[in-house]
Chain A
Amino acid sequence: MKITIALIGNQNAGKTTLFNQLTGSRQHVGNFPGVTVEKKSGTLKNFYNHGFQVHAREGQAVLGEEIHSDKLIEIPHGLEVELVDLPGIYSLSPYTPEERVTRDFLIHEKPDAVINILDATNIERNLYLSLQLMEMQIPMVMALNMMDEVRKSGNSIDIERLSKDLHIDIVPIAANKAEGVSELAQRTITEALSKHKPQKIDFCSGPVHKAIHAVVHLIEQQSTSYDIPLRFAATKLVEGDTLMEDALSVTANQKEIIAHIVSEMETELDTDREAALADMRYEYISQICSASVIRHGDTQEQIRSVKIDSVLTHTYFAIPIFIGIMALIFWLTFGIIGSTLSGLFEQLIEFVTGIVDSGLGSYGMSAAVHSLIIDGAFAGVGSVLSFMPTILVLFFFLSLLEDSGYMARVAFVMDSLLRKMGLSGKSIVPMLIGFGCSVPAIMATRTLSSRRDKLLTIFITPFMSCSAKLPVYALFAQVFFPRHAPLVMIGLYAGGMVIAIVSALVLKSTVFKGKPVPFVMELPAYRLPAIKSMAIHIWEKARDFLQKAFTVIFAATIVIWFFQNFDTRLNLVTDASDSILSIIGSAIAPVFRPLGFTDWRLSTALITGLTAKEAVVSTLAVLFAGEGNLELALSAVLTAPSALAFLVFILLYMPCFAALAVTKREIGTRHAIAAALFQTITAWLAAAFVYFIANLIV
């Protein structure tokens, strides 16, 4: 038997942390059908869902059994519970895709129960969503998160009273410490199995009450036949929700009656429908809270946040501090921790390669297979794998910034600047993640509320040099600019940012014209991220990376090895310049003549770089393997200016297939192709310019 539970709450209420606690790493990430809103689901950990009893009430059906008198029913082993993480939203209005997805999921998918997670330190605004959820008539449990912070500060919430007033089961939890999580899971399963719907749905009073009840009578029949919760439908119609009108096929006659009811209410209250309903809900919430919430002052976390912000969002210090923090992270990642770990990892790979190499030698394996394994697979995958620790360290820091609440401040501080580029402060988050990897960066554009912002951000985010390009820079800087390696690296990163800004300015005033979207964002209190959530996040990245290394990159290295070792008649070649790869590479090589590099192996590496940018290095390693030392071989085919042009092209040209696939998913095929073309043309122009200038200087 399987039941589905939906997890819903405001942004910053701790939803992801709770989701991770409940499901561990058994998560599945996908999209809601038809829209690019991420849908995350997972199976509830086993120990939460057996070994307890459900209190069944008279007149209900539990597990298919009619209950004639109250009794306890044992939860059977093997009950499968799927948890669906719905987007973080503040209301069920029909404006953002997230809100619509949540509504549709609740109405059409009908989960067996809902966990509504609330930030207890900010309970009033969080309850606003709860009141709308209760109208949905789905069994529901409230998880009052961060109750530890409320108690510690001497404030209190009378949970029993609140639960009685709302007729909803409430469980206090501290998701980051896993407190109360097990009880929450069991109580939710109980509610789901006993199909106990929220009892109280009448929050209204006065004219709003009158209007809602009049509409309830009017649409009763349609609500049943279209299977939409009656009370929710009526409230939304009073609010003027056109999507609900369509969903219920409200007739012109009914529309007229509703308009009349609403205008009567508006006259009586001297306000409009939307304000009237928002006001009514908040009014009801303060009434409820005045009986159960005692708030002497802010929690320690909120007071601490204001103090931290007096420095981090300070008029003069904010931007220097932000630049300082980013510089520190890059220095730690690429200079200290990452390179040490990568060095160790590299030694390990070399060690394993050595063993396999000598093993194959003494076994007497045929030369072709020996070469396939060592020069193809081990050289290709190994060079990519050695870079994994650096990427994970970068992700660790970026998720620390995100989960602690600092990213929201960065958006606040940078908004004014980014708006000049036609973006909003929120675009800074994907752009920063872009320094790690374009794939999660492009996915992070989902938090942007306007399509124009999203398109513009996706077009320029790949210019933020992703960490996979770093081994290419490192190799070339070492060969051509041994004394100025750090300068070249910094120059490339800065160059990417400059190109991004210029592109944004150009695109903003040509292709993507339009008004800036509103910037309405909550600044959550600073909190230490939960170790477990961070660990799961890092593990997901590591898994993705390993998967990529052993599938896409592995396949690419094998294919390239094959193309390199065989000619068009599938004979083994003795000279690499007779190979299939040489023919392909030579065919496109003339395109790069104005950039100063003509060797077919370099243009070939650019092609294989599309599988993953790390593959540029592995391809060069494989292709130049016949010439002995790779570094010497490179300096034979490139000069300092053409090496620089090559690096600039690598920095800017279209991202890898993985990033392209995500781009296509986010903005459609047409725009994804446009973005790739735009980036590649920009790369060619910039590289040609750099080659020209560098030749003047040298």
Chain B
Amino acid sequence: MKLSELKPGMQGIIEKVAGEGALRRHLLDMGLTPKTPIYVRKVAPMGDPMELCLRGYELTLRISEADNVHIKDEEAETMFCSGSCAHCHTHRKEGSSNQGNGRKAWGRNK
């Protein structure tokens, strides 16, 4: 699954960043490394670019760039967003690759 296919309000775990060269390197430098949870906050009024939340900060990417980011299929989920990026953060820190645990963590934060 691609990051660009996630709908606003959905969260996924990065599997890998495809492509090559400057763009890929920049995405890696910005923290889009494998196993990082990433949350789609919204898309811009005209449908592009998308606003993402990862590692506790907000990042924008165009859909065409988000096409290069692969998400682990089984872990994409719709989650409740309290508006707090730190949730993603906590989620990852607990080291949960397991959906059940992840949900519980979100549940607590609600």
Contact = CB atoms under 8 A, between A and B. Distances in A.
Interface of A: 90-91, 93, 95-96, 121-122, 124-125, 128, 271, 274-275, 278-279, 282, 286, 290, 295-298, 302-303, 305-307, 309-310, 313-316, 318-319, 412-413, 415-417, 419, 425, 516, 518-524
Most buried by A among B29, B34, B46: B29
Interface in B24-38: 24-31, 33-34, 36
A413 B43 CA distance: 9
A128 B25 contact: no
Given A416-B48, A520-B61, 19 more contacts: A90-B29, A93-B25, A93-B29, A96-B22, A275-B34, A278-B33, A279-B28, A279-B33, A282-B33, A282-B36, A303-B84, A313-B42, A313-B45, A315-B45, A318-B44, A413-B44, A416-B49, A518-B22, A520-B59
Given A122-B56, A302-B85, A282 B44 contact: no
A520 B34 contact: no
Contacts of B59: 520-523
Interface stretch (B71-79, B86-94, B98-106): B86-94
Nearest to A280: B33
Contacts of B46: 416-417
Interface of B: 16-17, 21-31, 33-34, 36, 41-42, 44-49, 51, 55-62, 64-65, 83-87, 89-90, 93
A277 to B, nearest CB: 8
A425 B51 CA distance: 14
Nearest to B87: A297
A124 B37 CA distance: 14
Nearest to B63: A416
Contacts of B31: 124-125, 128, 282
Contact of B62 (A96, A297, A302, A415): A415
A416 B26 contact: no
A416 B60 CA distance: 12
A413 B59 CA distance: 13
B58 A307 contact: no
B30 A125 contact: yes
Contact of B23 (A121, A318, A417, A520): A520
Contacts of B26: 90-91, 93, 95, 518, 520
Contact of B56 (A93, A124, A310, A315): A124
A295 B90 contact: yes
B84 A519 contact: no
Contacts of A516: 64
Given A124-B56, A279-B34, A306 B29 contact: no
A114 to B, nearest CB: 19
B23 to A, nearest CB: 5
A516 B34 CA distance: 26
A271 B34 contact: yes
B49 A415 contact: yes
Contacts of B47: 416
21 contacts: A90-B30, A124-B31, A275-B17, A275-B28, A275-B33, A278-B28, A279-B34, A302-B84, A302-B85, A310-B83, A315-B45, A316-B45, A416-B47, A416-B48, A518-B62, A519-B61, A519-B65, A520-B26, A520-B59, A521-B60, A522-B60
Nearest to B48: A416
Main secondary structure of the interface of A (DSSP, over half): helix
Nearest to B19: A518
B3 to A, nearest CB: 13
A427 B47 CA distance: 19
B58 A522 contact: yes
A521 B51 CA distance: 10
Contacts of B27: 520
Contacts of A122: 55-57
A522 B27 CA distance: 11
Contact of A518 (B23, B34, B86, B93): B23
Nearest to B33: A279
A261 to B, nearest CB: 20
Contacts of B21: 95
B86 A298 contact: yes
Contacts of A416: 44-49
The 6 A-B residue pairs with the shortest CB-CB distance, nearest first, are: A416-B46, A278-B28, A91-B29, A306-B83, A523-B58, A95-B22
Contacts of A95: 21-22, 25-26
Contacts of B30: 90, 125, 520, 522
A309 B21 CA distance: 32
Contact of A520 (B16, B42, B65): B65
Contacts of A524: 58
Given A302-B85, A316-B45, A124 B24 contact: no
A412 B58 CA distance: 12
Contact of A415 (B25, B44, B84): B44
Contacts of B25: 91, 93, 95, 274
Contact of A519 (B60, B83, B93): B60
A160 B67 CA distance: 42
Contacts of A518: 22-23, 26, 62, 65
A271 B56 CA distance: 25
Contacts of A310: 83
A463 B45 CA distance: 26
Contacts of B41: 306
B93 A290 contact: yes
A297 B34 contact: no
Contacts of B22: 95-96, 518
Contacts of B65: 518-520
A314 B65 CA distance: 22
A306 B84 contact: yes
A297 B49 contact: no
B86 A297 contact: yes
A412 B49 contact: yes
B20 to A, nearest CB: 9
B58 A425 contact: no
B85 A124 contact: no
Nearest to A132: B29
A314 B48 CA distance: 13
Contacts of B34: 271, 275, 279
A412 B60 contact: yes
B16 to A, nearest CB: 7
A295 B55 CA distance: 12
B84 A275 contact: no
A275 B59 CA distance: 19
A278 B60 CA distance: 20
A307 B81 CA distance: 12
Nearest to A408: B60
Contacts of A297: 84, 86-87
Contacts of A90: 26, 29-30
B85 to A, nearest CB: 6
A122 B58 CA distance: 10
A315 B21 CA distance: 33
A90 B57 CA distance: 13
Contacts of A519: 49, 60-62, 65
A290 B61 CA distance: 28
A313 B44 contact: yes
A99 to B, nearest CB: 9
A303 B85 CA distance: 8
Given A315-B45, A412-B49, A522-B58, A295 B83 contact: no
